[in-house]
Structure 1
Amino acid sequence: MRQSPQIRFPAQIINKFRITAIAASTALLFACSSQETITLPTGVSLVETVTAQQDTLNIPFKKYKLANGLTVILHQDNSDPLVHVDVTYHVGSAREQLGKSGFAHFFEHMMFQGSQNVADEQHFKVVTQSGGDLNGTTNSDRTNYFETVPKNQLEKMLWLESDRMGFLLEAITPEKFEIQRATVKNERGQNVDNRPYGRLNETVNQMIFPREHPYSWPVIGYMSDLDRGTVTDLKEFFSRWYGPNNAVITIGGDIDEAQTLAWVNKYFGSLNAGPAVNNIAKSSVTLSENRYYSFSDNVSLPLLYISFPTVYGMHEDEPALDVLANILGSGPTSLLYKNLVKSGIAVQAGASHPCRELACQMSFYALPNPQQGLSLAKIEQVINDTLVEFEERGVNADDLLKTKVGIETGTIYGLQSVSGKVSNLAHYQTMLGDANYTEQQVARYNKVTKVDVMRVFKKYIQGKGAAILSIVPEGQEALVAKANDFVLPDVSNPAKLAQLDTPIMKNASDFDRSVMPSSPANPQITVPTLWRETFENGIEIIATKNSETPTISLLLSLDGGVLLDSVEKAGLASLTASLMNEGTTVHSKEELSNELAKLGSNISIGAAGRNTYIKVNSLVKNFDATLALMNEMMFKPEFAQDDFNRVKNQLIQGLEQGNKDARSLANNALKQVTYGKDNRFGLADSGTIATVSAITLDDIKGFYQTYFSPAKASLVVVGDIDKAELLIKLASLSTWQGKDYTISGDYNFPEVTPNKLYFVDLPNASQSVIKLSRRAMTYDATGEHFKATLMNYPLGSAFNSRINLNLREDKGYTYGASSYFSAGKTLGRFSAGASVKKEHTYDAMVEIEQELKNYQQHGLTESEVTFMRQAISQNEALSFETPGQKSGFLRQLLQFNLPVNYGEEQSSIINSISIEQLNAIAAQELSKPMQWIVVGDGQVVRPQLQKLDIEVVDLELAK
C-alpha cells in the first residue's frame, strides 16, 4: 500500500545502494540495549541470544520460537518511548501461480479491511488513534505489515496483528473483495499506467524470464489475472501462505521483554500452523543472445534500458557485481557518467545491480540529450564501448574503498531508528533464517578484490545476452536501438490454471478476542535539549547533541530561495544551487564525488520554497574533512560554462518530461491558477522551459554574488558533538561576509473564480488528477492555521478520513484522496483532491464537493473529535526519534521563531478545543470560494465536465 515518492524518471533506473541496514559498532549504536533472564511461557522456546559486544557488528536481540512455528525476535532499545512491530510473511508475488498474479499484493490490501474482531476500516483507525504510523509493503519475495506506536500501545498492536493472522477470512466479503480489486487497479493506473516509463520494469522482466518463472509477472499483477480471481482463490492463497510458521514477528523499542513475550504467546500461540513452506529452488537465468523490444509511451525523451541476468540474492558473486555496477554507473565518478552525461550525449545515465531472492540483474540506462541526437542505437554503442573501456581500465583501489565506506555509513544511517533495526532483523531472518547476519554481510563486501570484480564482469556481462528495451515518444518509433526480435508473451489468458485445493484456515481462541486491550497512560515525552548561538555576521545557530549514532547532520538555510527570482527568469535560484554541486576551483565534480564517497559523507546544495540550503551528513570521525569540502563548494564554485550548459539542459529536459506527467501538470496548474501566471509563486520552483532557457551564466554569477550571504542565514546541527567543539569547527562560517538583501513582499494574486473550472488536456491519460483549492492562511503554531488543521484531520488528513473512505473504500474511484492545509511564512493554501479513474472524474468531483458541504454544514461528530485528539496528541511520542526528526523540529523553531515548548500549548489546544469551535472553523473555512483544476484525457473527461454547469476554461500553462 505504500506509495513511492513522485520521481522524474522511473525509480528502477536509479542506482540502488546495495547494503541496507547493516549493523555498526555496538558501542556507539546500542548502548541503550539490555538483556535479562526471563521465565518462558509454556510452548515457547529460546532459540538464540545475541548480545552487544565491543567491536562486533551486530544488533542485540533474542529469538524465540512458538509451538506453531512462529518466529519471534525481540530487540530492546529504551532511547525513545516507542515500539516498532513488524510481521513479515515469506510470501510475495513469486509464490503466486501462473495466471493468478497480483494476489500477494491484493492480499496486502485485504489485510487492512478488518478481521473477525476488528471492524471494517478499523485497523487504520485503531493504530492512528493510538498515535501510531502503519503500512504494509509487498515485493517479489515477502509481504510485511508494520506499526510504530507509543510504547503503551504495544499490546493493542499485537491484538490487531494476531486477529488478522488468525481470523481474517471470517471478515472477507464479496463487497470488500470488489472494493479492493478496484483499489489495486487504481494503484496500477496511478503508479504504472499513468506514469511516464511506468511499464519499464514489468516489460524487462517479461523479456528476461520465461513465462512460468515467478519473476516474469509484476508484483501488482496483470489486470486480466485480477479480473478472473475469486473470493475462494483469495481465501486459499491466505490459507496456504499466511500461517504463523511462515511468519516472523519482530518487535523493537522500549519494551518489557518478559511482558512482550507473554503477550505474543497469548495472542499468537494458539493459532494453527499452516501448510509447510519450503524455499523456492534457485537457478540461474541466462540469455544466449540479446533480445530487443520497444514500445512507445507518453514521454518526452526516449530511454534505453539494458539488463543482464546475473546471479541471485546472497550468491557469493553478488558483492563483486555490486562493486562492478558502482564503477560502471554510480555517480559522477562512474564510466557511464563520464562517457554519456559529461560528454553531453545523454542527460541521465547509470547502472544498478538490484537483487531479489531468486535472481539479480545488472542494468544500464540512459536518456539521450536532444542537442546531440535522440538515436538509442548511438546510446547502445557508447554503453558497449564503455564495457570495453572498463576491461582495459580495470579496478582501482578507490573503487573498493568507496564500496566499503559506503557499507559503514549506510549501516549507521539505516539504524538511526528502531524501525530500521527491526527491518534489518526481519529481513535476514526471513530470507536466510539468520537474523544475526549483519557482520557476515559486511564481511562479504570487505572481501571483494580487484580480481573478483574482473572475474564477474567476464562471467556475467562480457559477451553475454541482455534484454535491451527501447521506450520512445509516440510517433518516434524510428529512434529505437534495433527492430524488435522478441515478442512479449500473451498474459491475457493462461492455458491452464493450477488449483491449490488448500483447506481454508480455521482458528479458535481460548479467550475473548472481541475485547480490545486497554492502554496505560501515555509515555512522558522529552523534547530535545538544545542550545543557540548567533554569529556576528548574522547566522543564527540552533543545535542539539545526539549521541545515539556517531553522525552529524548540518542544514544551512539562506532565506529567500526561489522568491528571489524574477518571473522572467524563474528557476534562477534552483539552477544556481544545482551548479554549485558541479565542482569548485579546486576540485572537479568527479573529484568531489570521489572524496565524499571515501569519507562516507554527503553534501548537497539546492533551492526550494523560501530557502537555498546546504545539507551535510557525515560520520563524526570525518566531519573536519567534510566541512572543508563544504566550505570549498560554498565559497569557491567553479561556475564553468560547460557545466552550466549541461545542467541547464538537464533541467529543461526534466521540465519537458514533467509536461507528460499528470501530477506534475496538476501541480503547475494549481500554482498558476491560485497565484497567477505573472507571479513568481505561480510558477514551479524550478521555473518553466522558457524562463530557464532565458538564464545565462552571468545571471548565475550575479545571483550568487548578491544572495549567497550570511545576512539571512540559519544553521541547524544535530549530532554527536559538544557545543564548544562544534563552534570551533564552524569558524569559517563565523567569518563569512556578505551584504544584506531584501525579499519582495508585494504580490498581486488573482481572484478566486468558483464559477470556472480550469482544464488541462493530457491525451490518453489513464487517470484524471482533480484538485479543488483556494488560498488560505499562513503558518502559525497555535493559532488559526493550527486549529484549521485539527478541524480538517477527520475530513481529509487521516486514512480513515471522510474523503478517503468515500472515494477509495466506498466508491473505488481512487488509490487515495485527501484534503489539507499547507502553509509557510508567506503563503497558505487549502486543497482537496485525488488521482481518479478517468471515467469517474465527474463522480469523484461531486463526492468531494458533497463531503465538504456536509462537513461545512453539519461539522464533526463527537467520535471524530475524540479520534482527532487521541491520534494527534499520542503521535508526539514518535516525533523526536531520529536525527532527521530532531533537525526538523529545530528548523521549525528557527524559521517561525517559536518557543521550545510550543508543543505544550498545542497539546493544550488539542485537548481543550470544543466541537463547537471546530464546527465554527469548518463552517467558515469550507464556505469560502474554491476553484477546480482538472488534468485528464479530454476525449473522456470533457463530456463529464459539462454536467457541472460551470464554465470550463482550457488552461494554457506557462511553458
Structure 2
Amino acid sequence: MKPIKSLCLSLFVLITLSACKQNNTKETSPEFKVDFEKFTLDNGLQVILHVDRSDPVAAVALTAHVGSAREKEGRTGFAHLFEHLLFLESENLGKGGLDQMSARIGGSGANGSTSRDRTNYFQTVPKDALEKMIWAEADKLGWFINTVTEPVLAKEKEVVKNEKRQRVDNQPYGHNSAVINSNLYPEGHPYSWEVIGSLEDLQNATLEDVKEFFRRWYVPNNVTLTIAGDIDVEQTKAWVKKYFDEIPRGEDIPALEKQPVTLKSTKRLFYEDNFARAPRLTMAWPGVPQYHKDSYALSVLTNYLSNGKKAPLNKVLIDDEKLTDNVVFYQNNSELAGQLMLSVTAFDQADLNAVASAIKDGFKDFELNGISEDDLNRIKAGQETDFYQGLSSVLGKGFQLAQYEIFAGDPDFINQDVKNILAVTPKDVMRVYNTYIKNKNFVATSFVPKGQKNLVLDNSQLADIKEENIIEGAEDTFDPSVAATYEKTPSRFDRSIEPPYGSSPELNIPKVWKKELDSGISVYGIENSEVPLVQFEIQITGGLLLENKDKVGVSNLLADLMTKGTKNKTTEELQNAIESIGASIYTYATEDNITIAGTTLSKHFDKTMDLVTEILLEPRWDETEFELLKQSTISSIQRSKANPNSIASDEFSKLLYGDHNILAYNNRGTEASVHSIDIFDLKDYYNKNLSPQLTNVHVVGAISETEVVNALDNINTQWESKAIEIPELPMPLYPEQSTVYFYDVPGAKQSVIRFGYPSLKATHNDYYLANVMNYRLGGGSFASQLTQQLREGKGYTYGIRSGFSGSEYIGEFTISSGIRTNVTYEATDLIKQILEDYGKNYNEEDLDITKGYTIKSTARAFETLGAKLNMLSNISNYGYADDYAKAQENMVKALTVDDVKMLIEKYIKPNQMVYLIVGDAATQLNKLEALGFGKPVLLNGN
C-alpha cells in the first residue's frame, strides 16, 4: 500500500430517516435505504453507481477479488506487488501511469490497498475529470500487462521490500502478526502467510510468474467498479461501457469455500525483539468469517471487554494490577475465516505470566456478570454515530458498496447488516464468549526486549523469524529508463487519446459564521445538514509554550486527566454518559494548545456540551487516575526510545531548536520530568494558563449558530477570564553550514532520515506559496522529484516527502523518509543533489503540473466535516479570510517560473541544513563524510 492515512471501512450508509436513539427508551428501529444502481457488463464486470451531489467530486474505486489468499506458497506477496505495479504504466497512459495523471487532474492521490481477499485502487477527482478516470481504470485492466518488463519488476520488488522493512522489520513487534498467523492457521491455509509476502518470495518472483497471476485474477468477471459522487448516471453508464466492455472475460473463478480453523492445542511462542522496550502479550483465538451471524455479537463482546473504564479486562489489568495502560481486543474477520486478537503491551519489566493471569480474572468477571442492556445499548449508540461518520466521504461510500457486493453478494446487504447489529442481545454476547473463547485453545506470543527472556509466558517456544542481514551491494541493479517494447493490444478506437475535461466545477466555499462571546471566546461555525452529525473542537492556546523546561509534560498530563472524571462524575460515570448518547469527547495537548474535541449527533449537541462544560470547568483531580497516567506516559516514553521514527522526530527537534527553546522538547516530557510532576503542578497550570481569552471554538455540522451559542452559555458565563501572555520564543535561524548527525540503532533494517531547518511560520505571507513551490520537489507524492528519483528511479525507499509545516509560533522545512540501510550515503547524496538542482532546472512543465493539481484539487477541498473544521482552524488561528481558498487559487494562477525560482532561492537551503540519520552506525556512519559536510556527529554511543 502506498503511504496514506488509514481509511475508515466501517459501515457507509445513506440513511433516509433519522436513526433512533439507542438507549433505555424503546424506539422504532431505523429504516435504511441505500441509493445505488448496479449493472453488469457482458464480460462480467460488476458496476455500482451512487449519486451524491453534496460536493463537485466523484470517487472511482476498482476492486479486484484477489488478495494474498489467492497466492501460491513460495510465491507470496503477488497481490500486494500488483497493487504497486498497476500504478506505474499502461499502454495508453504511458510512463507514470495513473500517478502522473492524478497530478494533472487534481485527484486526491491515486492509491490502493491489499488485504487477504481483495485489492482496490481508488481516488477522488473533480467531477470534470470523471471520464478521464474511467478511461484510465479501463486501461489498467485491459492494456497493462505488456508494459511490465524485467527492469520494471526489479525496481518494484525493491520498493515492496523497502515497505516490508519499514512496516515490519524496522518496527517494534513488527514480526508479531507473522508469528500469530503461521501458528493459528495450518500449513497451506491461505491466511498462514502475510499479505506483504516474504523477501525471499519477492526476490524469486519471475516475470512469467507475475504475468500468469495477472491473467488469472485481473479479469472483468473478478472485478467490481464503483463510482460515487456528483455524477450523471446515464452518461457514466455510457462511459463505462465504452471503455470497459471490450476487455475479454477471463476464466470462470469459482468461489472459495470457507476455511475455519480449530486449534488442537494451545501454542505459546516468544521472541526477543531488537526494537521493543516493553513486553507484549498477544493471544489469538479462531473466530468467524466476515458477516457470519456470530460476528455481530463478537464485535460487541470485544468492545465491552476492553473499551472504557467499566471494561472487565481494563479493571483488572489497568486499575487493579497496574500492569499496562492499554488493552486491545478486536476481531479480524476475512472472507474464509476469522480470528479474535487480544493484545497487551505491559509496563517495563512486567512478567507476562502476571498479564495472562489478570486476563483470566477479567474473563471470570465477565462470566459472573455478563453484559447489561444499558451497556449493550451504550455500545450500539456509538455504532449509530459511526454510521453517520462514514457519510462524509463519497469514496468511503463507494468502498462499502463494493465490499458488500464482493463479500456478501449484494450491495443492498447493508440493510440486513444494520439489522444484525441492532439485533444483538446480552444472551448473544455471552453465547459467543462461551463458544469462541472460554476454555478454548489459543496462540500466545510473548515479544520482549533483548535480554528479557525471563518475562515471557511459561512453556513458550522460540518463534521462527527470519531476520534480513545488512549486506552492501546485495540488491539487484536495474535501469528504470528502459522502455518496454511490445505489440500494442488492439482496440475498437484509439485509446491513446486522453478524454477531454467536462465542464469545470465551481469552487463551493462553505459559509462561515463568527461570534465573539462576552468571556472572550471566539466561536467559528459552518452549518452543514448533509448528515445529522456535528464535529467540534475547543482550542485553548498554550500547551507546551507555557511550560517550564524542568517539568515538561504538564500540559500533556493535564489534557489526559481532563476526561478522567469530573467533580460530580467518576471516570466510569463520565465515559458512560458520553457513550450513552453516541458521542466521543477527547482531549489532547500540542506544542501550542490544549484541545477538547469530539463528534456527536446533532440532536445530542446540548447534552454533549453539558459534558464538555463539566470536563473544562469542574475537573475531578483524581489522584489514582493521575498516577496511572504518569505510569502510562513514562512507559510510552520508554517504548519510543527503540522506535527509529520516534527517535528521529525527538532528536530533530533538539537539533533545530537547541537547549534554550521549549520547542526542543517532546510535549510528553522525559522520564525524569514526568517523574517530577505532581498533581499540584497540573492544578497550577490549569489555574494560571487556561482562559477563555485564549480560546477558539470551531463547530461544523447540522446545527445553527444560535444553537451553538446557546449550548456554550455555561462555559461563557462561568469560565473566569484572565489575561495571559504567550512568551516570545527565541527563534532559531538556518544553520550556518550543513552538518550530518547520526543516531545509532544497531541492526536497523532501514535508515530513518530527517533533513531540514527552521523556516516559515504559517502566518508568513510566503507560507502558502512555499508549499506550492515544494509540490514538484517533495510535496506532490508521485509527481515529486524526490519520489520519482529515490523510489521510482532507484528503489531506495518506500516513500519520501518534503514540506513546510508551521503554526503561529513556529515553522520548519523537513524531508523525511525510511531508506534502505545499505544505500544510506547514496540516497542522502542524491537528495542533496536534487535540492541543489531544483531551482536551476525548474521549468514551465513543472509549473503547469503544479498549477493543474493545485487549482483543480480545490473542488474537493471542503468535502468532509474534518476538512471544514480545518478551514475554520486556518481562519481563526492564522487570520485567513473566509474565502482564502479563492485568494490562494488566484495567487497560484498568477505564479510564474521566475516567481517559483525566487521562492526556491529563498527557502531551499541544502548547504544550511541539519542532516539527521537514525540507523546502523557500524555499517553506515563513516561513509557519510563523503557528503562534504565534515565528519558526522554521533549523537549516542562512543
Same fold (TM over 0.5): yes
Question: What is residue 3 of structure 1 aligned with on the other side?
Answer: 3
For the 8 Å contact 1:28–1:548, the answer to whether it is kept is no
Measured after TM superposition, the shift of residue 308 of structure 1 is 0.6
Measured after TM superposition, the shift of residue 174 of structure 1 is 0.7
Select which of 571, 577, 581 maps to 2:553. 571
Measured after TM superposition, the shift of residue 198 of structure 1 is 1.1
Work out the CA distance in 2 between the residues paired with 1:581 and 1:364: 25
Question: What is residue 480 of structure 1 aligned with on the other side?
Answer: 456
Work out the CA distance in 2 between the residues paired with 1:28 and 1:256: 27
- Alignment of 1:70 with 2:45, yes or no, is yes
Name whichever of 563-572 and 254-263 sits farther off.
563-572
For the 8 Å contact 1:542–1:717, the answer to whether it is kept is yes
* Deviation string, structure 1 residues 609-634 (Cα, Å, up to 9, x no partner): 31111102100122222112111111
Partner SS for 1:282: coil
- Alignment of 1:352 with 2:330, yes or no, is yes
Select which of 545, 549, 562 maps to 2:527. 545
Question: What is residue 11 of structure 2 aligned with on the other side?
Answer: 21
The amino acid across from 1:169 in the alignment is I
The within-5 A match list for 1:711-790 is: 711-735=693-717, 736-747=719-730, 749=732, 752-780=735-763, 783-790=765-772
- Alignment of 1:925 with 2:937, yes or no, is no
Work out the CA distance in 2 between the residues paired with 1:448 and 1:779: 49
Select which of 508, 513, 536 maps to 1:526. 508
The amino acid across from 1:203 in the alignment is V
Partner SS for 1:26: coil
Question: What is residue 181 of structure 1 aligned with on the other side?
Answer: 157
Partner SS for 2:846: helix
- Alignment of 1:461 with 2:461, yes or no, is no
Measured after TM superposition, the shift of residue 507 of structure 1 is 5.4
Work out the CA distance in 2 between the residues paired with 1:158 and 1:664: 41
Measured after TM superposition, the shift of residue 305 of structure 1 is 0.5
Change (3 A) 1:776 1:490: closer
Question: What is residue 709 of structure 1 aligned with on the other side?
Answer: 691
The amino acid across from 2:31 in the alignment is T
The amino acid across from 1:20 in the alignment is S
Partner SS for 1:248: strand
For the 8 Å contact 2:316–2:361, the answer to whether it is kept is no
- Alignment of 1:955 with 2:939, yes or no, is yes
* Deviation string, structure 1 residues 117-170 (Cα, Å, up to 9, x no partner): 112223112112101112100010100001100000000001110001001111
* Deviation string, structure 1 residues 789-832 (Cα, Å, up to 9, x no partner): 22211111112211111110111110011221112111111122
Measured after TM superposition, the shift of residue 22 of structure 1 is 4.3
- Alignment of 1:662 with 2:644, yes or no, is yes
For the 8 Å contact 1:61–1:74, the answer to whether it is kept is yes
The within-5 A match list for 1:505-524 is: 508-524=490-506
Select which of 186, 196, 204 maps to 1:220. 196
Question: What is residue 230 of structure 2 aligned with on the other side?
Answer: 254
For the 8 Å contact 2:296–2:421, the answer to whether it is kept is yes
Question: What is residue 267 of structure 2 aligned with on the other side?
Answer: 291
The within-5 A match list for 1:116-265 is: 116-133=91-108, 134-265=110-241
Measured after TM superposition, the shift of residue 946 of structure 1 is 3.2
Change (3 A) 1:253 1:64: same
Work out the CA distance in 1 between the residues paired with 2:625 and 2:350: 21
Question: What is residue 445 of structure 1 aligned with on the other side?
Answer: 421
For the 8 Å contact 2:179–2:463, the answer to whether it is kept is no
The within-5 A match list for 1:266-285 is: 266-285=242-261
Measured after TM superposition, the shift of residue 447 of structure 1 is 1.7
Question: What is residue 839 of structure 1 aligned with on the other side?
Answer: 822
Work out the CA distance in 2 between the residues paired with 1:184 and 1:582: 43
Change (3 A) 1:505 1:138: farther
For the 8 Å contact 1:549–1:720, the answer to whether it is kept is yes
Question: What is residue 889 of structure 2 aligned with on the other side?
Answer: 907
Change (3 A) 1:318 1:711: same
Work out the CA distance in 2 between the residues paired with 1:659 and 1:158: 47
Name whichever of 509-518 and 691-700 sits farther off.
691-700
Work out the CA distance in 2 between the residues paired with 1:780 and 1:519: 35
Partner SS for 1:578: helix
The within-5 A match list for 1:578-617 is: 578-617=560-599
Question: What is residue 101 of structure 1 aligned with on the other side?
Answer: 76
For the 8 Å contact 2:313–2:363, the answer to whether it is kept is no
For the 8 Å contact 1:780–1:786, the answer to whether it is kept is no
For the 8 Å contact 1:832–1:848, the answer to whether it is kept is no
For the 8 Å contact 2:744–2:940, the answer to whether it is kept is no
The amino acid across from 2:617 in the alignment is F
Question: What is residue 50 of structure 1 aligned with on the other side?
Answer: none
Work out the CA distance in 2 between the residues paired with 1:205 and 1:491: 18
Measured after TM superposition, the shift of residue 951 of structure 1 is 2.4
- Alignment of 1:635 with 2:610, yes or no, is no
Work out the CA distance in 2 between the residues paired with 1:643 and 1:771: 36
The amino acid across from 1:447 in the alignment is A
The amino acid across from 1:594 in the alignment is N
Work out the CA distance in 2 between the residues paired with 1:611 and 1:843: 40
Work out the CA distance in 2 between the residues paired with 1:937 and 1:360: 38
Work out the CA distance in 1 between the residues paired with 2:13 and 2:889: 36
Work out the CA distance in 2 between the residues paired with 1:5 and 1:691: 32
* Deviation string, structure 1 residues 383-426 (Cα, Å, up to 9, x no partner): 11222221111221123212322221111101121112111111
Measured after TM superposition, the shift of residue 55 of structure 1 is 5.5
Name whichever of 360-369 and 304-313 sits farther off.
360-369
Work out the CA distance in 2 between the residues paired with 1:526 and 1:28: 27
Partner SS for 2:925: helix
- Alignment of 1:316 with 2:293, yes or no, is yes
For the 8 Å contact 1:859–1:923, the answer to whether it is kept is no
Gapped runs of 5+ residues in structure 2?
20-28, 469-485
Measured after TM superposition, the shift of residue 288 of structure 1 is 2.1
Measured after TM superposition, the shift of residue 3 of structure 1 is 3.2
Change (3 A) 1:150 1:413: same
Work out the CA distance in 1 between the residues paired with 2:734 and 2:44: 65
Name whichever of 594-603 and 743-752 sits farther off.
743-752
Partner SS for 1:895: helix
Measured after TM superposition, the shift of residue 352 of structure 1 is 1.2
Question: What is residue 482 of structure 2 aligned with on the other side?
Answer: none
The amino acid across from 2:863 in the alignment is E
Work out the CA distance in 2 between the residues paired with 1:171 and 1:824: 45
Select which of 333, 347, 356 maps to 2:310. 333
For the 8 Å contact 1:206–1:489, the answer to whether it is kept is no
Partner SS for 2:342: strand
The amino acid across from 2:777 in the alignment is L
Work out the CA distance in 2 between the residues paired with 1:674 and 1:491: 35
- Alignment of 1:816 with 2:816, yes or no, is no
Work out the CA distance in 1 between the residues paired with 2:738 and 2:42: 66
For the 8 Å contact 1:89–1:142, the answer to whether it is kept is yes
For the 8 Å contact 2:333–2:339, the answer to whether it is kept is yes
Question: What is residue 938 of structure 1 aligned with on the other side?
Answer: 921
Question: What is residue 495 of structure 1 aligned with on the other side?
Answer: none
Change (3 A) 1:940 1:331: farther
The amino acid across from 1:362 in the alignment is L
The amino acid across from 1:778 in the alignment is K
Measured after TM superposition, the shift of residue 362 of structure 1 is 1.6
Measured after TM superposition, the shift of residue 745 of structure 1 is 0.7
- Alignment of 1:56 with 2:38, yes or no, is no
Measured after TM superposition, the shift of residue 738 of structure 1 is 2.8
* Deviation string, structure 1 residues 34-82 (Cα, Å, up to 9, x no partner): xxxxxxxxxxxxxxxxxxxx96312201101100000111111111100
The within-5 A match list for 1:838-857 is: 838-856=821-839
Measured after TM superposition, the shift of residue 506 of structure 1 is 9.6
Change (3 A) 1:749 1:912: closer
Work out the CA distance in 2 between the residues paired with 1:235 and 1:262: 30
Partner SS for 1:528: coil
For the 8 Å contact 2:738–2:915, the answer to whether it is kept is no
Name whichever of 741-750 and 900-909 sits farther off.
741-750
Work out the CA distance in 2 between the residues paired with 1:892 and 1:795: 24
